[in-house]
Structure 1
Amino acid sequence: MNSYLEANARERLRALFDAGSFKEFVAPAERVVSPHLAQLNAPAAFDDGVAVGSATLDGQAVYTAAQEGGFMGGAVGEVHGAKLVGLLRRAVRERVGAVVLLLETGGVRLHEANAGLIAVSEVMRAVLDTRAAGIPVVVLIGGSNGAFGGMGIVSRCANVVVMSEEGRLAMSGPEVIETASGVEEFDSRDRALVWRTTGGKHRYLLGDCQMIVADDVAAFRLAAIDAIASCAAAPVELTLEAMEREQLLLSERLERFGDMADPLAIWAALGMAEPNKLPMLEAEAFVSAAAPHRLGVN
C-alpha cells in the first residue's frame, strides 16, 4: 500500500499506524447505522461511513477516525457525527497523546438534513474542546473527495492540517459554487482550475495547511508523527489572541487577493517564480520553493 489517495479508510488505518495497533470502538458487528437512510430507501453502511478507535503512532497512544469516501462521499449524518464527537470526548477524558482525523468528505449528508448539520456543529465544538484540553488534533487530507462543507471548517479548527497535492480543502465544492453563481464564476469541469483553487499546494501557500506531502501513506505517517511532536514542543493555545491573529490573516488575504480570479495570479503576487510550473513540482521541490513565500509564515 503506497498511494493514500487510492486506499480506502480501513486500508489507511492499517498502513498509517503501528502494525496491528488500531482497535475499533464501535465494531462493524454492532451494526450501528443511520436511523434515517432506511426510511428514504437509501443504502446504509455497517459503520455509517466512519471508523473510530485507538491506535499507536510511533509508539504513542492516539485516538483516530477515518472517513470512508466510498460511502456517500464520506458525508456526515447523525450517527457518523456522533461517532466523531464520542471519539473526541473520550480523548479528553482519557488524556491521550493526540487525535488524528483522516478526513475525506463532501460535508453534511443531505439525506439527513438538520441532523447532519447539528452533527457537524457538534464535531466542531468537540475539536475545539479537545484542543482547549491541551490535546492536539491533527487532520490528514488526501482522499479523492477532499474535505468540504462543514468538515472543511472542522479541518481548520485543528492544530495542524496535513495535505497532499491531490487532497482538496474548501467550504463550498466546485459544483456547489457553479450551481449557485454560474459557470462564469467557477467552472467545475475545469479540473486544473479546481485543483489550483482547492488543492494542497494552494492551501499550503495561503497558510490553510501546515504541511504538504507526497501521495504516499508513509509520507502521511511521518508528517503526522512530526505534527504531534511539533504540537508538544510548541503548543498553540486556543485563545482570543490566537483567533484575532487568524482573523488578521484572513483580512490580509481578502485585501490582497480578493479581486484575483485564478490562483496563478495569487501565486505570482506572493512572489513565486514561474507560478504556472508549480502544479508540476513534486512535493519536496514545491515545499522548498514555497517556503519563503507562504502567507502568514514569514
Structure 2
Amino acid sequence: MNSYLEANARQRMHQLLDAGSFTEFLPPAQRIVSPHLAQLDTPFSFDDGVTIGSGTLNGSKVMAAAQEGGFMGGAVGEVHGAKLVGLLKRAIADRVDGVILMLETGGVRLHEANAGLIAVSEVMRAVLDARAADIPVIVLIGGANGCFGGMGIVACCANAIVMSEEGRLAMSGPEVIETAHGVEEFDASDRALVWRTSGGKHRYLLADCDAIVPDDIAAFRRAAIDALAQCRRAPSEVTLEALQREHAMLERRLTAFGELSEPMDIWSALGVVDPDRLPMLEASAFVQQTQALRAGER
C-alpha cells in the first residue's frame, strides 16, 4: 500500500513510522468504546476511530495518532478526543522528540454533540501545551475525508502542516456551507471547486500549509522527518506577538482577496500567470512554480 489516500489508519501508522517501532496504546483488544453510541443504537468501533501510540521516525522518538476515516468519517467523540489528549500529555511527560497527527475527519461527531465539542477544545489545549513544552506537533492531511470542523482548527494550532493535493483543510465542509447558505453560495457537488477552495494546492499557495507532497506514504514520511527536524532547529513559540502577526496577515489577506469568490482569481491576484494550469501540475512541479513565485515577491 503506497497511496496515503487509500490506506487506513493503521497502515499509515506502520508505514510512516520506522519499521517495527510502533507500539499501540489502548488497542481494539481493550475495547475502549464510546459510552454514547450504544445508547443511540449506533454502531461503534473498539478503537473509537483513532489509533494512537509511540514509535520512532527516522530514529527520533515520537508519539503518533491516526484518525480512521472509515469510521464515522473520522469524527471526534468523547473517547476519541480523550485518546488524543492523553497521547499529547504522554508526549510531554516522556519528553519525546515530537508528535505526529495524521488527521482525517469531518469534525465533531454529531451523535455526541457537546461531548465532542469539549473533546476538540481539550485537544487544542493539549497541542498548545505540547508546543509550550517544546514538543513539536506535525499534522499530516491526505485522507479522503479531509480535515474539517474543530479539528481543522487543531491542525492550525500545530507547528507544521503537510498536505497532499488530495487533502483538504477548512473550518466548514462543503456540504455544511451548502446546507447553511444554499447551493448558490457553494456547490458541494462541484468537486473541482471543492478542491480549488480547500485542497492542498490552494492551502500551500496561501501558506496555510508548510509542505505539499504526492499521494504517497513514503513522501509523507520524508516530509514529516523534514518538518520535525526544522521545528527542532527553529522552534516557533506561541506568543502574543506571533498571534498579532497572524492577525495582521489575515487582515491583509481579507483586504486583498475578500471580494474574490473563485480560487483561481485569488491565484491570479497572487501573481500566478496561468492559474488554469495549476490543478494539472504534479506536486513537485507545483512546488517549484510556487517557490519561484515567492522568490519573485522578495
TM class by shorter chain equals over 0.9
Distance 1:13 1:294 in 2: 33
**Equivalent-residue separation in structure 2 for 1:216 and 1:291 (angstroms):** 21
Change beyond 3 A, Cα 1:248–1:156: same
Q: Distance in 1 between matches of 2:293 and 2:250?
A: 16
Residue 104 (structure 2) aligns with: 104
Amino acid at match of 1:151: M
**How far has the Cα of 1:292 moved from its partner?**
3.9
Report deviation, 1:255. Answer: 0.8
Q: Which amino acid aligns with 1:62?
A: V
Please give the per-residue CA displacement for 1:8-40, whole angstroms capped at 9, x wherever unaligned. Answer: 000001111111111011121110000000000
Distance 2:177 2:294 in 1: 26
Cα distance in 1, alignment partners of residues 52 and 249 from structure 2? 33
Secondary structure of the corresponding residue to residue 111 of structure 1 = coil
Report what 2:285 is aligned to: 285
The structural deviation recorded for 1:253 is 1.0
* Residue deviations 1:179-221 (CA, integer Å, cap 9, x gap): 1111111000110000000000000011110000000000000
Identity over aligned pairs, percent = 71
CA distance in 2, matches of 1:125, 1:294: 33
CA RMSD of aligned residues (A): 1.1
Q: 1:294 to 1:186 in 2, by over 3 A?
A: farther
For 2:192 and 2:101, locate their aligned partners in 1 and report how far apart those are by CA, in whole Å. 27
C-alpha distance 125-67 of structure 1, shift in aligned 2 (>3 A): same
* Structure 2 counterpart of 1:144, one-letter code: A
User: What is the deviation of 1:294?
Assistant: 5.2
TM-score when normalising by structure 2: 0.98
Which stretches in structure 2 are left out of the alignment for 5+ residues? none
Closer, same or farther in 2 for the Cα pair 1:262/1:112, shift >3 Å? same
SS in 2 for 1:139: strand
Partner of 1:211: 211
Relative to structure 1, the CA distance from residue 294 to residue 74 in structure 2 (aligned partners, 3 Å threshold; closer, same or farther) is farther
1: CA distance, partners of 2:126 / 2:32:
21
SS of the equivalent of 1:259 reads coil
Aligned to 1:128: 128
1:152 & 1:145 partners in 2: Cα distance? 12
Aligned to 1:158: 158
Contact 1:207–1:294 (CA<8 Å) still a contact in 2?
no
Q: Which residue of 2 aligns with 1:46?
A: 46
Structure 1 segments unaligned to the other structure (5+ residues): none
Letter in 1 for 2:173: G
Give the alignment of 1:255-274 within 5 angstroms: 255-274=255-274
Cα deviation, 1:38-92, whole Å, max 9, x if unaligned, reads 0000000010000110010011110000000000000000000000000001101
Alignment of 1:44-83 (within 5 A): 44-83=44-83
Distance in 2, matches of 1:101 and 1:247, equals 25
Q: How much does 1:293 deviate?
A: 3.7
Match of 2:112, SS state, is helix
Conserved? CA contact 1:205–1:293, under 8 Å: no
**1:27 and 2:27 correspond:** yes
**Is the Cα contact below 8 Å between 1:3 and 1:217 reproduced in 2?**
yes
The 1-side partners of 2:264 and 2:294 are apart by: 14
Letter in 2 for 1:55: G
Give the aligned length: 297
**8 A contact 1:267–1:275 mirrored in 2:** yes
Q: Matched residues in 1 for 2:252 and 2:207: separation?
A: 12
Query: How do 1:164-203 and structure 2 match up within 5 A?
Result: 164-203=164-203
